[in-house]
């Protein structure tokens, strides 16, 4: 299911013009998720559009969303699909929290 789900996510993010999407394969180094995906929106409106479109496409394809955090946030929205965790971040929040630096570059 992960490969199919990743294709849906990738296609949706490209359609909605999400910025600087990174996919980290964490399967071998942790137990909370297999894939950590980080992307950005150019504004709170763009971030909202990204999360809304992702939710719509995931539901349409019967992909269960286990948890949704920050839906009304202008800085960070998180969608937990279990084996995939999607972080939609404002450019400033992404720079501040710098999630990519927590993981080895070889995982990207």
What count of other Cβ atoms lies within 10 Å of the Cβ of residue 24? Answer: 22
> Could you read off the pLDDT of 5-59 as tens digits, one per residue?
999 999 999 999 999 999 998 887 877 889 999 999 999 999 999 999 999 999 9
101 pLDDT above the threshold of 90 = no
Which has more pLDDT, 83 or 1? Answer: 83
The SS3 assignment for 66 reads: coil
The domain covering 2-101 belongs, at the CATH homologous superfamily level, to Beta Polymerase, domain 2 (3.30.460.10)
pLDDT in the model for residue 105: 60
pTM recorded for the entire structure: 0.91
> Could you read off the pLDDT of 83-95 as tens digits, one per residue?
999 999 999 999 9
* Whole-angstrom distance, CA of residue 41 vs CA of residue 82: 23
Question: What is the domain partition of the chain in residue ranges?
Answer: 2-101
């Amino acid at each position: 299911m992960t490969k199919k789900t990743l294709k849906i996510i990738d296609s949706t993010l490209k359609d909605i013009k999400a910025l600087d999407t990174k996919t980290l394969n964490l399967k071998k180094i942790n137990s909370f998720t297999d894939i950590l995906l980080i992307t950005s929106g150019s504004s709170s409106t763009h971030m909202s559009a990204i999360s809304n479109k992702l939710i719509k496409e995931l539901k349409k394809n019967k992909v269960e969303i286990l948890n949704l955090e920050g839906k009304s946030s202008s800085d960070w929205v998180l969608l937990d699909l279990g084996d995939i965790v999607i972080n939609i971040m404002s450019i400033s929040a992404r720079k501040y929290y710098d999630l990519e630096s927590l993981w080895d570059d070889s995982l990207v």
